[in-house]
């Protein structure tokens, strides 16, 4: 990873490290799993989103909610439209608009889980409530294991998992590639099936990567940096992006090519080597827990201010 550690990244690494510390006997094994170049699952599926083709019609958003039986989020539109401002516990998929200041340039962007090849959410969860499907590579959530600690939220470098604050038995909500509703029935996900322009398409990861590179070769200079976001970013993902504007302007962070868990393994190794590891690790863990708790209180207060149910955990 080329970028230096920011405070947020340090907390994420601490979260991942704390999960490893909490299950110390498996730490060695966990560390061994995080390779410098994580490999895709044999039948890895994927999604290719080409922002230059997207018209912002949001058919994919409506389809996502229908297939996943999620209610409309009309809080920001006075009850008129499903118009969430961001991903939330009712929204696994969102189309956002980017406008360059004063330059007249704009682009839509679709956001959902990236289904990372080496997911930080999986490493950050101390109870294995998140896991990567060994065949298709889909990152899934198991409610029977989750205790609602929300470490996955902190660990995810794309800020994807969301917590159901308004439920007595909250879930972690994120895109699971419609695996039970569609993939296991041999059908494609709701969003890709609904897109009328082909801006987002479904397929095998390898085939989608080849298609993305074909488009770049066919239109030199059209795409930002002639690059496919997700090919190597954060160790590689199963969702790819093509865009005419800088990826970071679309909310896609510059994370370097190491996966977060691999990077955390390297940082932990250095901490252990030079600074009496366990003490440092527990210190960082305390920071993460403190920050998590403050954020938790803030979200709870916001929710209660809107008149929601008191939080149950």
Q: Is 150 exposed, middle or buried (0-12, 13-18, 19+ CB in 10 A)?
A: buried
Q: Is 250:244 a contact under the CB 8 Å cutoff?
A: no
Per-residue contact string for residues 3-42; x = within reach of ligand SF4 by CB under 6 A? ----------------------------------------
Q: Is 257:37 a contact under the CB 8 Å cutoff?
A: no
Question: How far is Cα 111 from Cα 251, in angstroms, rounded to an integer?
Answer: 9
Q: Tell me the residue length of the chain.
A: 313
CA 43 to mean position of chain CA atoms: 20
Q: Is 173:164 a contact under the CB 8 Å cutoff?
A: yes
SS3 49: strand
Per-residue contact string for residues 172-191; x = within reach of ligand SF4 by CB under 6 A? --xx-xx----------xxx
Q: Is 2:230 a contact under the CB 8 Å cutoff?
A: no
Work out whether 151 is an interface residue with ligand SF4 (CB under 6 A). Answer: no
Per-residue contact string for residues 56-75; x = within reach of ligand SF4 by CB under 6 A? xxxxx--xx--xx-------
SS3 138: coil
Per-residue contact string for residues 93-132; x = within reach of ligand SF4 by CB under 6 A? x-x------------x-x-xxxxx--xxx-----------
Work out whether 201 is an interface residue with ligand SF4 (CB under 6 A). Answer: no
Residue 55 or 226: the one with the smaller Cβ distance to ligand SF4 is: 55
Of the ranges 19-27, 31-39, 51-59, 272-280, which one interacts with ligand SF4 (CB under 6 A)?
51-59
Span between the terminal Cα atoms of the chain, in Å? 36
Residue 67 or 301: the one with the smaller Cβ distance to ligand SF4 is: 67
Work out whether 252 is an interface residue with ligand SF4 (CB under 6 A). Answer: no
Task: List interacting residues with ligand SF4 (CB under 6 A).
Answer: 54-60, 63-64, 67-68, 92-93, 95, 108, 110, 112-116, 119-121, 139, 156, 158, 160-161, 174-175, 177-178, 189-191, 194-195, 197, 199-200
């Amino acid at each position: 990873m080329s970028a230096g550690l920011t405070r947020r990244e340090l907390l994420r690494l601490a979260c991942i490290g704390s999960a490893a510390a909490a299950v110390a006997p498996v730490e060695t094994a966990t560390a061994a799993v995080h390779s410098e170049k994580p490999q895709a699952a044999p039948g890895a599926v994927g999604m290719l989103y080409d922002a230059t083709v997207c018209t912002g019609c949001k058919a994919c958003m409506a389809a996502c909610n229908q297939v996943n039986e999620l209610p409309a989020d009309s809080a920001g539109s006075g009850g008129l439209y499903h118009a969430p401002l961001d991903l939330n516990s009712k929204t696994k998929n969102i189309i956002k608009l980017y406008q360059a200041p004063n330059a007249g340039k704009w682009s839509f962007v679709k956001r959902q889980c990236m289904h990372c090849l080496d997911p930080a959410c999986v490493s950050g969860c101390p109870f294995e409530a998140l896991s990567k499907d060994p065949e298709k590579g889909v990152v899934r959530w198991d409610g029977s294991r989750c205790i609602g600690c929300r470490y996955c939220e902190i660990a995810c470098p794309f800020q994807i998992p969301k917590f159901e604050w308004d439920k007595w038995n909250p879930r972690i909500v994120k895109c699971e590639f419609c695996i039970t509703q569609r993939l296991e029935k041999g059908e494609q996900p709701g969003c890709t099936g609904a897109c009328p322009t082909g801006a987002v398409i479904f397929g095998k990861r390898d085939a989608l990567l080849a298609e993305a590179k074909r488009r770049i070769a066919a239109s030199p200079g059209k795409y930002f940096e002639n690059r496919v976001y997700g090919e190597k970013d954060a160790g590689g993902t199963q969702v790819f992006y093509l865009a005419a504007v800088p990826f970071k302007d679309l909310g896609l962070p510059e994370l370097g090519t190491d996966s977060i868990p691999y990077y955390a393994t390297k940082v932990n190794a250095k901490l252990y080597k030079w600074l009496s590891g366990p003490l440092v690790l527990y210190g960082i863990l305390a920071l993460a827990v403190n920050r998590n708790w403050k954020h938790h209180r803030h979200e709870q207060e916001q929710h209660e201010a809107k008149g929601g149910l008191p939080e149950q955990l």
